[in-house]
Chains A and B, each alone.
Chain A
Amino acid sequence: MTEPSYQQPAYQPPAGTGPSGPRASFGRRLVAAIIDGILLGVVGGIFYAISRPLGYAVQLLITIAYLTYLEGSPSGQTVGKKAMGIRVIDFRTGGSIGYGRAFVRWIGRYVSAIPCLLGYLWMLWDKEKQTWHDKFANDVVVPESAYPVESWPG
């Protein structure tokens, strides 16, 4: 007896060489990242104004909380991803990746960024359009149109 899962179709083994389902485009993911980046930059700037000495430590905590909570939520959508109609889902089950793996995904962002963002650009030629942080958290980013969201953040 297993718990009822989320509404997404179960993972199908890939046939041939293409991706195993619809994947979010680089452009949408980039715009979503810009929206999230500006949002985090503005909120970080406000906290910086309130308490200067904490500076980027507060920025870091806000970013961790924001990404872990929203990408680990059942919708798998940050504000930017919601605006662009894309979401993070578990590669195997199609459900939520949960908060633990969302946190791993955040750590993975650093690994992706260090070689001049190569880990981010990796999705351009990856079969499943995965960045390195997608691979660490074993997720894929998909269009909402193919994998509907029930509620946000869910």
Chain B
Amino acid sequence: MLAAGLTLPALPGHPSFHCPLRALTGLPCPLCGLSTSVEETVHFHLGDALAANPLGVLLVLVAVALLVLRPARLALPRAVVPTVLAASWLFELHRFSFL
């Protein structure tokens, strides 16, 4: 993820892929804005990253922490992933004025 965030903008044309849900229905999905957010975070454009999706900043921080700390095991409470995805979706729905 970090590697993609660093290399994709440097490639000719800046390859990207549009959200299938948004392309077809107009509604953003819970993962919308994450490519932008991760890219902007690894380039230290935190304002743009937070505007696209704050989850991207969080994911980069977690990824860096995991790379540095290298914990032997990782235990997450079961509710974390659904809760984070729901929060991310609410943010995106708000960003695109559906909420």
Residues of A within 8 A of B (CB): 33-34, 36-38, 40-42, 44-45, 48-50, 52, 56, 59, 63, 109-110, 112-114, 116-117, 120
Contact = CB atoms under 8 A, between A and B. Distances in A.
Nearest to A37: B20
Contacts of B23: 37, 40-41, 44, 59, 63
Contacts of B15: 45, 49
B19 A41 contact: yes
B21 interface: yes
Contact of A49 (B13, B21, B98): B13
Given A41-B19, A114-B98, A49 B14 contact: yes
Interface of B: 13-21, 23-27, 98
Nearest to A58: B18
27 contacts: A33-B24, A37-B21, A37-B23, A38-B20, A40-B20, A40-B23, A40-B24, A41-B19, A42-B17, A44-B18, A45-B17, A45-B18, A48-B18, A49-B13, A49-B14, A49-B15, A50-B13, A56-B18, A63-B23, A63-B24, A109-B25, A110-B25, A110-B26, A113-B26, A113-B27, A114-B98, A117-B25
Contacts of B24: 33, 36-37, 40, 63, 109
A49 B16 contact: yes
Contacts of A63: 23-24
A116 B93 CA distance: 9
A112 B50 CA distance: 29
B30 to A, nearest CB: 12
